[in-house]
Chain A
């Protein structure tokens, strides 16, 4: 063993740098449905996945592909997993986002004491630093394996803004929401029964600008807890609405509902003198957000 090898510091599992902190904050905030929430970060050569879970009934994942980062050095063997408080992570990242300033944040794991380290790397003479204590995450007890319900997928894509609005409107009737997919005529119905009844229909042929895609070959109906459905849209980033994006909902085996949003983590372009017009809106600069919601009861 060479002597110099001993002195060499062990390279951290991951060092990555991101230009658009605001976009990251928005993407992470989208899966923050309560104040104190634990998250698990999973690191790999493909990027970082942040996972949030609630009592085995609701799970959310934010996929940050390595293409989102301007630098992504991955040295770990295996796939390190670490637990952090999502609130602290978001609060710290927020500190790196200064209005009217363009800042690059560096994320490193692990630090000398297994912390998650955040650092601004724009200037030598001033820097912002944060250290977040991590914990060893619980072993996975989740079974969110999303499997197709049958040979043909049950899925529809609806404008994110319309979905958010519909779910907000369903707040008053009750605690449970029924989602019904009907092949003929192709339609999606969100129905709540409780203090009153409220039903919101998206007809594929009538509301084609809202219900942009639809696939279903037999009538399907499942009930979901309102608070879980609400969590899937309540903190949707404003950029999703602004860019008029769609959200894809799929129902899998056993009624497992998957909700997917796309959030752009493009370089901030607002009033920046050196806008990289080509770099803006690259498909690689999109973070995927997925929610998995378990149904309340099975209905056939």
Chain B
């Protein structure tokens, strides 16, 4: 089992400034899953609860001289602590910038190693970051879990495959930051948020308790997938009336998710996506958020980067 690559400047930038800070909010530890062509950061795919989050990079987006081999179809997966990886990357960047005056560009190598740690007799697996400067090299070892077994990797891959289905209707969220701000206040009110999405571009989020309800409503959002025009007779109704009419007509759907999970999904704005879409999976099985990244300077989707989250739906009784 071998993995070795150099992180590109763009890769360092993507991870250090954008994705790792965002992913860290979803959960401190995650699985890093490396294949021949992709590197994926996966949250909670092997356990049922929590926000499922999948950040996928084509190898060229992060690395050059990417070499991987394993007897499991060149696939390697292990768990690691994102905050340690982020810290190591930051110090690597700091080291590199110190040497940037020198002509030769610094190289940041990332590889899997086994080392004997001070207090054990068994060699332990590490992800090592090595920054070579002009005169010195800085090596940082990040402890990781034992690589996942063949069965676990298969399980991870099948969880990943089943997570690829798109919700039939997706609405574009206008301002993630603003919504996050609101959801942070909602956390004070209750634990469960009701999310309603319709085919005519309505999105409403609401937290209710016996004493109080707090929510936001967005209308005429951009819709991707199945869409219909809003019936004109609904225009002047209250948000609540419109959503219940829409649900009974079948062109809208609502689910309940944890406010905390919802806030985590919004934290992904730290990865600076160019747009974000919310949708409800068929049969209301989960709330899906898909983030879109453009190729810098264009309005074209960057297919080498993808990020999406799936929020488990609470059954109405458990609220």
Interface of A toward B, CB cutoff 8 Å: 85, 88, 91-92, 94-95, 98-99, 101, 124-133
Contact of A132 among B174, B185, B211 (CB under 8 A): B211
**B181 x A99 contact (CB < 8 A):** yes
Q: A128–B216 contact, CB under 8 A?
A: yes
CB distance from B160 to the nearest CB of A (A): 34
CB-CB under 8 A for A101 and B178, given A92-B214, A127-B217? yes
16 chain-A/chain-B pairs, Cβ below 8 angstroms:
A88-B189, A88-B212, A91-B185, A92-B185, A92-B214, A98-B178, A124-B219, A125-B218, A125-B220, A126-B174, A126-B217, A127-B216, A129-B213, A130-B214, A132-B212, A133-B211
Return the 6 tightest CB-CB contacts between A and B, nearest first: A95-B185, A130-B214, A126-B218, A133-B211, A91-B188, A128-B216
The complex places the Cα of A88 from the Cα of B219 at a distance, in Å, of 26
Chain B: minimal CB distance from A109 (Å): 15
A95 to B216, CA, bound (A): 10
Would you call B215 and A130 a contact (CB within 8 A)?
yes
Does B239 make an interface contact (CB < 8 A)?
yes
Q: Which residues of B contact A128 (CB under 8 A)?
A: 182, 214-217
List of A residues within 8 angstroms of B220 by Cβ: 125
Q: Contacts A101-B178, A131-B212; is A95 near B186 (CB within 8 Å)? A: yes
- On chain A, the residues within 8 Å of B185 by CB distance are 91-92, 94-95
* Interface set, chain B 152-181, CB cutoff 8 A to A: 174, 178, 181
- Which of B199-250 touch A at CB < 8 Å? 210-220, 239
Determine the distance from Cα of A2 to Cα of B186 in the docked complex, in whole angstroms. 45
Q: How many residues of B contact A (CB 8 A)?
A: 20
- Which A residues are CB-close (under 8 A) to B212? 85, 88, 91-92, 130-133
Complex: chain B residue closest to A93, CB-CB: B185
Do most interface residues of chain A lie in helix, strand or loop, or is the interface mixed? mixed
Most chain-A Cβ atoms within 10 A of its Cβ — which of B188, B214, B216, B219?
Answer: B214
Closest chain B residue to A85 by CB distance? B211
Q: How far is the CA of A125 from the CA of B188 in the complex (A)?
A: 25
Give the CA-CA distance A191 to B214 in the complex, in Å.
46
Evaluate whether A88 and B211 lie within 8 angstroms (CB atoms) in the complex, with A125-B218, A125-B219, A127-B217 already known.
yes
B interface residues with partner A (beta carbon < 8 Å): 174, 178, 181-182, 185-186, 188-189, 210-220, 239
Tell me which residues across on chain A come within 8 A of B174, comparing CB atoms.
Answer: 126
**Bound Cα distance from A99 to B182, whole angstroms:** 11
Q: Complex: how many Å from CA A94 to CA B186?
A: 10
- B214 engages A95 (CB within 8 Å): yes
Q: For the complex formed, measure the closest distance between the CB of B50 and the CB atoms of chain A, giving whole angstroms.
A: 26
How far apart sit A99 and B185, CA to CA, in the bound complex (Å)? 13
Query: How far is it, in angstroms, between the C-alpha of A135 and the C-alpha of B175 when the chains are bound?
Result: 36
Q: In the complex, what's the smallest C-beta–C-beta distance from B45 to chain A, in angstroms?
A: 33
Contacts of B219 in A (CB 8 A): 124-126
Query: Can you name the residue of chain A whose Cβ is closest to the Cβ of B219?
Result: A125
Assembly CA distance A270 to B189 (angstroms): 29
Q: From A131, which residue of chain B is reached at the shortest CB distance? A: B213
Partner of B213, one of A85, A94, A124, A130: A130
- Rounded to whole angstroms, the CA-CA distance of A101 and B216 in the bound complex is 16
Contact present for A129 and B218 (CB under 8 Å): no
Q: How far is the CB of B243 from chain A (nearest CB, A)?
A: 12
CA gap between A92 and B189 in the complex, in Å: 8
- Tell whether, in the assembled complex, residue A129 and residue B239 are in contact, meaning their CB atoms are under 8 Å apart: yes
A127: chain B residues at CB < 8 Å are 216-217, 239
CA separation between A262 and B185, bound complex, in Å?
Answer: 27
Residue of A nearest to B185 (CB): A95
CB distance from A106 to the nearest CB of B (A): 14
Are A129 and B216 in contact, with the CB atoms below 8 A? yes
How many angstroms from the CA of A130 to the CA of B216 in the assembled complex? 8
A95 nearest CB across to chain B (Å): 4
Which of B178, B182, B185, B186 has the most chain A CB atoms closer than 10 A to its own CB?
B185
Q: How far is the CB of A111 from chain B (nearest CB, A)?
A: 10
How long is the Cα–Cα vector from A128 to B215 in the complex, in angstroms? 6
The distance from the CB of A113 to the nearest CB of chain B, in whole angstroms, is 11
A91/B189 contact (C-beta < 8 A), A126-B218, A127-B216, A129-B215 known: yes
Expressed in whole angstroms, the minimum distance between the Cβ of B207 and any Cβ of chain A is: 10
The smallest beta-carbon distance between A91 and chain B, in angstroms, is 5
Query: With A and B bound together, what is the CA distance between A127 and B186 in angstroms?
Result: 15
A sample of 18 more A-B contacts (CB under 8 A), given A125-B218, A128-B214, A131-B213, is A85-B211, A85-B212, A88-B189, A88-B212, A92-B189, A92-B214, A94-B185, A94-B188, A99-B181, A126-B174, A126-B218, A126-B219, A129-B215, A129-B217, A130-B212, A132-B211, A133-B210, A133-B211
CA distance A131 to B217 in the complex (A): 14
Q: How far is the CA of A125 from the CA of B216 in the complex (A)?
A: 11
CA–CA, A126 and B218, complex, Å: 4
The distance in angstroms between the C-alpha atoms of A132 and B212, with both chains bound, is 4
Min CB distance B254 to A, Å, is 16
Chain B residue with Cβ nearest A129: B215
> In the assembled complex, how far is the CB of residue A243 from the closest CB belonging to chain B, in whole angstroms?
26
A132 to B207, CA, bound (A): 12
Question: In the assembly, what is the distance between CA of A98 and CA of B210, in Å?
Answer: 26
CA distance A290 to B212 in the complex (A): 28
Whether A126 pairs with B216 at a CB distance below 8 angstroms is yes
Complex CA gap A88/B220 in Å reads: 30
Least distance between A124 CB and chain B CB atoms (Å):
7
How long is the Cα–Cα vector from A94 to B189 in the complex, in angstroms? 11
Alpha-carbon distance A125/B217, docked complex (angstroms)? 8
Contacts of A85 in B (CB 8 A): 211-212
